[in-house]
Amino acid sequence: MPDLLARVAVRTIVFAVVIGLMVPLSARSASPASAESMRLLAVADQPSSLADRSSLDGRNRSASLSLSGVSQPIGTEDLGLITAPTTPPTAAMQATLYSIPVKKAAPKSVAAPASGETISGNATWYCCSAGWRGQAVVALPGALGGHYAAPPAARFVTVCADRCAVLPVADYCDCVWGTASQKVADLSPEAWAAISDSPTSRGVIAVTVTLGG
């Protein structure tokens, strides 16, 4: 029994000492914040800035960084206001083809051949042969070797009237061959002009055809 009372007495003394030590700490934590603490808390609540806010120049630089100081605030981009590009104007175009006449050289006058098979008779004129329009050519009866030949000609004959010219054989003519009215050649207008001074309105001229050129 005496031991139990001794232990209770010791615990009571220890508890009292602990309570005594805790009372000053509780009093300090419960004391109101000092003025310096309040100033520091107020500064911490303000927005921070890299500028020196302790001077007028620092405050002005800080204000210039604020978008609220811009006279015309930057608005958001509105893609709906972009209009599609207009179609460029067009102009109707019409091509005009011009025919440029090509002047072909007339055959040069030549002397009558000294040899070769020669046929004399009348000659008339005709319009033209396919591929030979505008050129001095001759069409012969089939008996004299006349046949159509596309350019370039493979055969030439010498035809003489007022003068002589070497002409390509371009075509065949019936020329009423084998009758009293037969002709020995049919001349294109250019060939007529190359060997005769008579107009084509005359219709018929006398010619000499030397075969083989």
Structure-block tokens of residue 17: 């000492």
Average of per-residue pLDDT across 93-100: 68
The answer for residues whose C-beta is within 8 angstroms of residue 24's C-beta and 6 or more apart is: none
Q: What is the pLDDT of residues 37-77, one digit of tens each?
A: 676 666 666 665 554 545 555 555 555 555 555 555 566 66
Q: What is the pLDDT of residues 7-19, one digit of tens each?
A: 766 677 766 766 7
pLDDT for res 33: 54
Q: Pick the closest to residue 49 from 59, 34, 35 (CA basis).
A: 59
Structure-block tokens of residue 204: 């018929």
Among 3.20.20.70, 3.40.309.10, 3.40.50.2300, 2.40.40.10, name the CATH number for the domain at 109-210: 2.40.40.10
Q: What is the pLDDT of residues 169-190, one digit of tens each?
A: 999 999 999 999 999 999 999 9
pLDDT for res 109: 73
pLDDT for res 79: 60
In whole numbers, what is the pLDDT of the chain averaged over residues?
A: 77
The mean-pLDDT minimum among 14-18, 25-29, 87-91, 121-125 falls in: 25-29
If one compares 67 and 141, the residue with the highest pLDDT of the two is: 141
pLDDT for res 133: 93
Q: Pick the closest to residue 102 from 190, 188, 164 (CA basis).
A: 190
* In the chain, domain spans: 109-210
Q: Is beta strand 164-172 parallel, antiparallel or unpaired with respect to 109-110?
A: antiparallel
Angle at 67 between CA 63 and CA 69, to 5 degrees: 55
User: What is the C-alpha to C-alpha distance for residues 20 and 14, in angstroms, rounded to an integer?
Assistant: 10
